[in-house]
């Protein structure tokens, strides 16, 4: 989709459609008033008939509005003016793109960015509009023998603004939004691929291809290299699978080499059966999404490379399958991590932390400014936070606040859980330095406690995306989260 920011007035647009908003009850926005004046009260007449009241998530498409040069005018309900905040803006914008999918509109000019949103500027509204447009346009049909042909589809979107002074900053917001949308699309593609295609080897190839296109440094370690490094914890998960494990490393240099990088670590379990601690069969197909952490950090790397951010960034992806076999790790096995700490594996379905801990130890060599790991780690996080917020645990208050603020700014929110010593006792083992689970209680927190034992050398945060990385049911598919959160965090780090 092509985008353009334009200092313009709605009545002069010649395209297929112009979009303006209406508040409850039938209160016109400034741009709707302009169209009403141009059409000699046509909009007022339509509203007075009761076809549009301005309620949230409603639209009304009008054809051949008198005096207008465009073919259509789309009215979108904004809800109550006094309550028009982040959610209302996003709901209204999503309603616009939903309406477009039911029409033959191929280009449109949208005039919603001038509507005041509490504590949000025009740039935020531009970026969010672009992200919603990208998500609306996304379609995964690569694996179908006959992909559905779309006769129509929005090909160009003009973002109308009324203040010429907003053009320069608006263009930067547009560029960032497009880059983040591209990163989200990659994340969705990797997550939605079938697990017999998206294997650890496939992820490694995708990383190498990205490195060639964007001049990144790519390193892929195999079993022998990981054995030399002592990554016994990661390899214990991989030993039940015929697919070879990979440790994938991408490096982006946007600053001088002496500047410390931010390191993102993404859990890359390309299919998770649970191992010997086998999962129930219903919905197990969705365990292809257990590499969503890996997909999101690769998507974030793509977004950063597209934006050319002045920052150094390293992405580390420990990639493997978790399969049951005669060679698979058994409950009760004790493995030795790269850090030298020993782990009693009480549940082989708590495998994500076993691969992450070695990757987190590996991250020390980059002398990082901060390390953030991203993982579909615990079902307990879904119980605690549902599918709305990502779980956050950190050993650094400043870092956690920066991530929380970035999530709020990106409309991709996280919620912090405690990392208290009181919870560490739940990981005690009679036979090793620690167990890999702490029981049912506080499952997300004890998983974070486990990871914290491998992050004492740097500032660290953990994002549990088990509830936010994908949707089930009729809308089954990857969400692309938390690419917006991570990208916004890195944008802000680059500005420091």
- Percentage of residues in the chain having pLDDT higher than 90: 94
The answer to whether 289 and 471 are in contact (CB under 8 A) is no
**Rounded to whole angstroms, how far apart are CA atoms 489 and 410?**
9
Exactly one of 12, 33, 279, 408 is catalytic; which is it?
Answer: 279
The answer to whether 275 and 323 are in contact (CB under 8 A) is yes
Kindly state whether residues 187 and 74 are assigned to the same domain: no
Looking at the predicted structure, is the pLDDT value of residue 118 above 90? Answer: no
Residue 119's pLDDT band (cuts 50, 70, 90):
confident
CA atoms within 13 A on the CB side of 85: 6
Looking at the predicted structure, is the pLDDT value of residue 417 above 70? Answer: yes
Q: Which of 162, 188, 210 is the last residue of a domain?
A: 162
Exactly one of 353, 369, 453, 481 is catalytic; which is it?
Answer: 353
Q: What is the mean pLDDT of residues 359-377?
A: 98
Which among 440, 446, 443, 386 is positioned nearest to 413, based on CA atoms? Answer: 386
In-domain check, residue 175: no
Work out the burial of residue 398: count CB atoms within 10 Å of its CB; fewer than 13 is exposed, 13-18 middle, 19 or more buried.
Answer: exposed
In-domain check, residue 332: yes
Kindly state whether residues 447 and 328 are assigned to the same domain: yes
In-domain check, residue 266: yes
Which among 465, 463, 482, 476 is positioned nearest to 411, based on CA atoms? Answer: 482
In-domain check, residue 167: no
- Is residue 279 part of the annotated active site? The answer reads yes
Kindly state whether residues 211 and 141 are assigned to the same domain: no
At residue 470, the pLDDT reads: 98
In-domain check, residue 447: yes
Instruction: Give the list of residues 6+ apart from residue 421 with CB closer than 8 angstroms, or none.
Output: none
Which among 328, 289, 337 is positioned nearest to 191, based on CA atoms? Answer: 289
Q: What is the mean pLDDT of residues 112-126?
A: 93
User: Tokens representing 412?
Assistant: 């991709």
The answer to whether 462 and 387 are in contact (CB under 8 A) is no
Looking at the predicted structure, is the pLDDT value of residue 85 above 70? Answer: yes
Q: Which of 98, 131, 162 is the last residue of a domain?
A: 162
Work out the burial of residue 82: count CB atoms within 10 Å of its CB; fewer than 13 is exposed, 13-18 middle, 19 or more buried.
Answer: exposed
**How many structural domains are present in the chain?**
2
Q: Which of 17-21, 103-107, 307-311, 429-433 has the lowest mean pLDDT?
A: 103-107
Question: Distances from the Cα of 284 to the Cαs of 271, 274, 287, in angstroms?
Answer: 9, 10, 5
In-domain check, residue 171: no
**Rounded to whole angstroms, how far apart are CA atoms 324 and 328?**
6
At residue 340, the pLDDT reads: 98
**Rounded to whole angstroms, how far apart are CA atoms 447 and 331?**
17
Q: Which residue has the higher pLDDT, 165 or 422?
A: 422
At residue 222, the pLDDT reads: 98
Kindly state whether residues 40 and 156 are assigned to the same domain: yes
The 10s digit of each residue's pLDDT in 188-229 is 999 999 999 999 999 999 999 999 999 999 999 999 999 999
Kindly state whether residues 292 and 356 are assigned to the same domain: yes
What is the extent of the structural domain holding 225?
A: 180-495
- Percentage of residues in the chain having pLDDT higher than 70: 99
**Rounded to whole angstroms, how far apart are CA atoms 301 and 315?**
7
Kindly state whether residues 259 and 303 are assigned to the same domain: yes
Return the CATH number at 7.
3.40.220.10
Looking at the predicted structure, is the pLDDT value of residue 82 above 90? Answer: yes
Q: Tell me how crowded residue 126 is: count the other CB atoms within 10 A of its CB.
A: 24
Q: What is the mean pLDDT of residues 419-433?
A: 97
Kindly state whether residues 102 and 184 are assigned to the same domain: no
**Rounded to whole angstroms, how far apart are CA atoms 388 and 471?**
11
**Rounded to whole angstroms, how far apart are CA atoms 150 and 344?**
53
Kindly state whether residues 229 and 374 are assigned to the same domain: yes
User: Tokens representing 360?
Assistant: 């987190």
In-domain check, residue 174: no
Kindly state whether residues 204 and 345 are assigned to the same domain: yes
Kindly state whether residues 151 and 214 are assigned to the same domain: no
Question: Distances from the Cα of 357 to the Cαs of 353, 421, 448, 452, 469, in angstroms?
Answer: 6, 19, 11, 9, 21
**Rounded to whole angstroms, how far apart are CA atoms 408 and 418?**
19
Q: What is the mean pLDDT of residues 371-386?
A: 98
User: Tokens representing 31?
Assistant: 């741009």
Q: What is the mean pLDDT of residues 247-265?
A: 97
**Rounded to whole angstroms, how far apart are CA atoms 266 and 193?**
17
**Rounded to whole angstroms, how far apart are CA atoms 260 and 133?**
35
At residue 163, the pLDDT reads: 87
In-domain check, residue 470: yes
Q: Beta strands of 39-127 (E only): which ranges?
A: 59-63, 72-80, 107-110
**Rounded to whole angstroms, how far apart are CA atoms 401 and 87?**
21
- Is residue 353 part of the annotated active site? The answer reads yes
At residue 152, the pLDDT reads: 67
Residue 49's pLDDT band (cuts 50, 70, 90):
very high
Helix axes 122-137, 86-100, angle to 10 degrees: 40
Looking at the predicted structure, is the pLDDT value of residue 151 above 70? Answer: no
Which among 395, 386, 409, 408 is positioned nearest to 121, based on CA atoms? Answer: 409
Which among 432, 462, 433 is positioned nearest to 447, based on CA atoms? Answer: 462
At residue 147, the pLDDT reads: 84
Kindly state whether residues 202 and 90 are assigned to the same domain: no
Kindly state whether residues 149 and 188 are assigned to the same domain: no
Averaged pLDDT of the chain: 96
The 10s digit of each residue's pLDDT in 447-496 is 999 999 999 999 999 999 999 999 999 999 999 999 999 999 999 999 97
The 10s digit of each residue's pLDDT in 294-346 is 999 999 999 999 999 999 999 999 999 999 999 999 999 999 999 999 999 99
The answer to whether 339 and 237 are in contact (CB under 8 A) is no
Return the CATH number at 436.
3.40.630.10
């Amino acid at each position: 989709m092509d985008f353009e920011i334009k200092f313009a007035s709605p009545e002069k647009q010649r395209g297929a459609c112009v979009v303006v908003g209406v508040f409850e009850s039938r209160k016109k926005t400034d741009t709707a008033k302009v169209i009403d004046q141009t059409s000699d009260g046509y909009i007022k007449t339509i509203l007075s008939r009761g076809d549009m009241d301005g309620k949230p998530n409603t639209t009304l498409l009008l054809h051949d509005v008198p005096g207008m040069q465009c073919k259509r005018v789309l009215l979108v309900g904004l809800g109550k003016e006094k309550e028009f905040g982040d959610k209302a803006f996003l709901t209204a914008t999503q309603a616009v793109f939903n309406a477009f999918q039911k029409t033959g509109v191929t280009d449109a000019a949208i005039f919603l960015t001038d509507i005041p949103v509490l504590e949000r500027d025009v740039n935020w509204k531009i970026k969010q509009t672009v992200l919603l447009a990208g998500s609306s346009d996304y379609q995964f049909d690569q694996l179908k023998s006959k992909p559905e042909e779309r006769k129509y589809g929005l090909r160009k979107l003009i973002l109308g603004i009324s203040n010429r002074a907003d053009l320069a900053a608006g263009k930067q917001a547009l560029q960032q939004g497009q880059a983040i949308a591209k990163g989200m699309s990659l994340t969705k593609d990797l997550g939605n691929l079938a697990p017999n295609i998206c294997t650890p080897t496939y992820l490694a190839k995708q990383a190498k291809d990205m490195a060639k296109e964007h001049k990144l440094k790519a390193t892929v370690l195999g079993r022998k290299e990981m054995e030399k490094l002592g990554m016994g914890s990661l390899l214990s998960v991989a030993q039940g699978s015929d697919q070879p494990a990979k440790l994938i490393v991408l490096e982006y240099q946007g600053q001088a080499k002496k500047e410390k990088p931010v390191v993102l670590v993404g859990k890359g379990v390309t299919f998770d059966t649970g191992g010997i601690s086998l999962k129930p069969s219903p919905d197990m197909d969705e365990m292809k999404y257990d590499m969503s952490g890996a997909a999101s950090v690769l998507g974030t790397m793509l977004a950063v490379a597209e934006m050319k951010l002045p920052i150094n960034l390293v992405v580390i992806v420990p990639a493997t399958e978790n399969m049951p076999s005669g060679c698979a790790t058994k409950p009760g096995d004790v493995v030795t991590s790269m850090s030298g700490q020993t782990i009693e594996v009480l549940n082989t379905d708590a495998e994500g932390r076993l691969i992450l801990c070695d990757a987190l130890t590996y991250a020390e060599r980059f002398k990082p400014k901060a390390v953030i790991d991203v993982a579909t780690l615990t079902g307990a996080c879904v119980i605690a936070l549902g599918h709305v917020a990502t779980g956050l645990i950190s050993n650094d208050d400043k870092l956690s606040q920066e991530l929380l603020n970035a999530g709020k700014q990106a409309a991709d929110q996280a919620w912090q859980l405690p990392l208290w010593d009181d919870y560490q006792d739940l990981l005690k083992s009679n036979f090793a330095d620690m167990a890999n689970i702490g029981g049912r209680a506080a499952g997300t927190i004890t998983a974070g406690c486990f990871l914290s034992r491998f992050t004492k050398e740097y500032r660290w945060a953990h994002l549990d995306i088990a509830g936010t990385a994908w949707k089930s049911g009729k809308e089954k598919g990857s969400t692309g989260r938390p690419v917006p959160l991570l990208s916004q965090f890195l944008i802000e780090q680059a500005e420091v």
